[in-house]
């Protein structure tokens, strides 16, 4: 058993005692701000000798201007290629210590994180501060060209070559109107990435990667006094930038009903039904999460039982509320089983979705789903990384890192009536976007 497995088991045992109610749940933290505008959130957890450092830059693909798509994701790569005082791969000094390091980009933010042994906290903070304050002196044409090629290849692999992946672009452009910040994919376009100059990416960095547009969390086994001293020493001298202007509002009408047919190098057809839905944390968001569990979580769930187990017309089926800050999408996806048709699957989906929107779920279904969500909720908080991500997300979306009890309360307050209400409000045929991906026709032999 390796050290990380032992750590995971230890966390799990410590976290098994859940609070009596949502109101009792909390993640102890301290939040403060440096003079340069950097937000800092500290949360101690001395159960195991590791600490998690995470930086959220409050810029995502929604903040990119036309012709400059993919820049936030591009920087997710460039930030690992060295800075002025460590002009080498970012992983090099931390991985020998057993660190877990990564970053990610979505529509809302770009984050960078590392989980390290407690005695490596100062090194992790220094590295993060150096790439925040001194990335540009080490950014070269060669690095830009290299990472641009990496990102374009990632686009090919994940958005173009991967089976069914071309549905992503079709769905995004059908659901969100022209000019909406969610219309373009986070990965960006080949044209925009190829056209990006060194000055373009420098300008993007100068605008968004400033202390006053970032939040630093330190979660785990550390001394607050030491951590504060290191944060002040390494991040404190970095100059405050001009105040960025993130996109915070983007109203758009719901799409009209439409069906988009695509072909791909796949063996079985797949049907995507998509609707616009309430934004993250908005009224209805939690009820739709619970609805997803009722529909497709487990073999006794409604859609799985009907389409996969009983009628055997689908190989798989899933439902999800994809929550985001400026609006969400609700997706129901099914892969057609061999010997059956898209029409059969579509008809069964429509029938079951209409039934739950009209009749609502049972109390037992709602209770089981809420229990599943609570289990998932507490599991997230078992690790220092999970706690950090929660603190960051709550801070980003509500300005309160301690929103955890209110968040869980959204789910425990869901009722059969609220699930039915939001199923009826969202799953409307007149606003349904349907994307069908069919196998490409095989050419005849010459």
SS (H, E, C) the chain: CCHHHHHHHHHHHHHCCCCCCHHHCCCCCEEEECCCCCEEEEEECCCCCEEEEEEEECCCHHHCCCCCCCHHHHHHHHCCCCECCECCCCCCCCHHHCCEEEEEECCCCEEEEEEEEHHHHHHHHHHHHHHHHHCHHHCCHHHHHHHHHHHHHHHHHHHHHCCCCCHHHHHHHHHCCCCCCCCCCCCCCHHHHHHCCHHHHHHHHHHHCCHHHEEEEEEECCCHHHHHHHHHHHCCCCCCCCCCCCCCCCCCCCCCCEEEEEEECCCCCEEEEEEEECCCCCCCHHHHHHHHHHHHCCCCCHHHHHHHHHCCCEEEEEEEEECCCCCEEEEEEEEECCCCCHHHHHHHHHHHHHHHHHHCCCHHHHHHHHHHHHHHHHHHCCCHHHHHHHHHHHHHHHCCCCCHHHHHHHHHCCCHHHHHHHHHHHCCHHHCEEEEEEECCCCCCC
Digitized pLDDT (tens) for each residue of the chain, 446 residues in all: 444 333 333 333 333 344 545 667 889 999 999 999 999 999 999 999 999 999 999 999 999 999 999 999 999 999 999 999 999 999 999 999 999 999 999 999 999 999 999 999 999 999 999 999 999 999 999 999 999 999 999 999 999 999 999 999 999 999 999 999 999 999 999 999 999 999 999 999 999 999 999 999 999 999 999 999 999 999 999 999 999 999 998 888 999 999 999 999 999 999 999 999 999 999 999 999 999 999 999 999 999 999 999 999 999 999 999 999 999 999 999 999 999 999 999 999 999 999 999 999 999 999 999 999 999 899 999 999 999 999 999 999 999 999 999 999 999 999 999 999 999 999 999 999 999 999 998 764 43
Total Cβ atoms within 10 A of residue 167: 21
Does residue 217 lie in a domain region?
A: yes
For residue 88, what pLDDT is reported? 93
For residue 11, what pLDDT is reported? 35
33 and 182 inside one domain? yes
Does residue 199 lie in a domain region?
A: yes
Burial of 88 (0-12, 13-18, 19+ CB in 10 A): exposed
- Read off the pTM: 0.91
Count structural domains, the chain: 2
Dist. CA 285–CA 291, nearest whole Å: 10
200 and 277 inside one domain? no
284 and 221 inside one domain? no
Dist. CA 29–CA 46, nearest whole Å: 13
Dist. CA 125–CA 230, nearest whole Å: 7
Domain span at residue 308 reads: 258-439
Dist. CA 300–CA 312, nearest whole Å: 14
Does residue 13 lie in a domain region?
A: no
177 and 316 inside one domain? no
Does residue 387 lie in a domain region?
A: yes
Does residue 287 lie in a domain region?
A: yes
217 and 298 inside one domain? no
276 and 208 inside one domain? no
The position carrying tokens 């090194």 is 123
Dist. CA 345–CA 313, nearest whole Å: 6
265 and 218 inside one domain? no
Does residue 418 lie in a domain region?
A: yes
Q: 353-405: per-residue pLDDT in tens?
A: 999 999 999 999 999 999 999 998 999 999 999 999 999 999 999 999 999 99
For residue 242, what pLDDT is reported? 96
Q: 327-347: per-residue pLDDT in tens?
A: 999 999 999 999 999 999 999
266 and 210 inside one domain? no
The CATH number of the domain where 326 resides is what? 3.30.830.10
Q: Say how many Å lie between the first and final Cα of the chain, rounded.
A: 57
């Amino acid at each position: 058993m390796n050290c990380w497995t032992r750590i995971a088991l230890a966390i799990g045992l410590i976290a098994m005692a859940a609070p009596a109610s949502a109101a009792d749940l909390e993640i102890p933290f301290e939040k403060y701000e440096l003079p340069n505008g950097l937000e800092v959130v500290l949360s101690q957890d001395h159960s195991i000798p590791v600490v998690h450092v995470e930086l959220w830059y409050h810029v995502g693909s929604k903040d990119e201007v036309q012709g400059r798509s993919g820049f936030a994701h591009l920087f997710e790569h460039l930030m690992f290629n060295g800075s002025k005082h460590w002009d080498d791969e970012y992983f090099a000094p931390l991985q020998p210590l057993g660190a877990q390091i990564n970053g990610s980009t979505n529509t809302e933010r770009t984050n960078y994180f590392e989980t390290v042994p407690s005695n490596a906290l100062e090194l992790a903070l220094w590295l993060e501060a150096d790439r925040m304050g001194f990335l540009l002196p080490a950014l070269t044409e060669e690095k830009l060209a290299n990472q641009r090629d990496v990102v374009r290849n990632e686009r090919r692999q994940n958005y173009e070559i991967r089976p069914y992946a071309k549905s992503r672009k079709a769905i995004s452009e059908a659901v969100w109107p022209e000019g909406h910040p969610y219309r373009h994919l986070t990965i960006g376009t080949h044209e925009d990435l190829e056209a990006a100059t060194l000055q373009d990416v420098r300008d993007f960095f100068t605008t968004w990667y400033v202390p006053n547009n970032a939040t630093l969390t330190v979660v785990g086994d550390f001394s607050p006094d030491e951590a504060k001293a290191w944060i002040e020493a390494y991040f404190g001298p970095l100059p405050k930038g001009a105040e960025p202007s993130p996109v915070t509002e983007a109203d758009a009408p719901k799409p009209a009903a439409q069906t988009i047919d695509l072909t791909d190098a796949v063996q079985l057809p797949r049907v995507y039904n998509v609707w616009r839905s309430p934004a993250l944390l908005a009224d209805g968001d939690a009820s739709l999460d619970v609805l997803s569990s009722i529909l497709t979580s487990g073999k006794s769930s409604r859609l799985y039982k009907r389409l996969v187990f009983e009628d055997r017309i689908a190989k798989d089926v899933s439902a999800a509320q994809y929550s985001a800050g400026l609006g969400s999408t609700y997706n129901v996806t099914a892969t057609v089983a061999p010997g059956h048709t898209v029409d059969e699957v579509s008809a069964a989906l429509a029938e079951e979705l209409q039934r739950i929107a009209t009749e609502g779920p049972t109390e037992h279904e709602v209770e089981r789903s809420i229990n599943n969500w609570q289990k998932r909720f507490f599991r997230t908080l078992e690790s220092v990384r999970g706690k950090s991500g929660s603190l960051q997300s709550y801070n980003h979306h509500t300005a309160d890192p301690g929103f955890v009890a209110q968040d869980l309360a959204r789910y425990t307050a869901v009722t059969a009536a609220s699930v039915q209400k939001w199923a009826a409000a969202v799953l409307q045929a007149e606003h349904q976007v349907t994307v069908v991906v069919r196998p490409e026709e095989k050419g005849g032999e010459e």
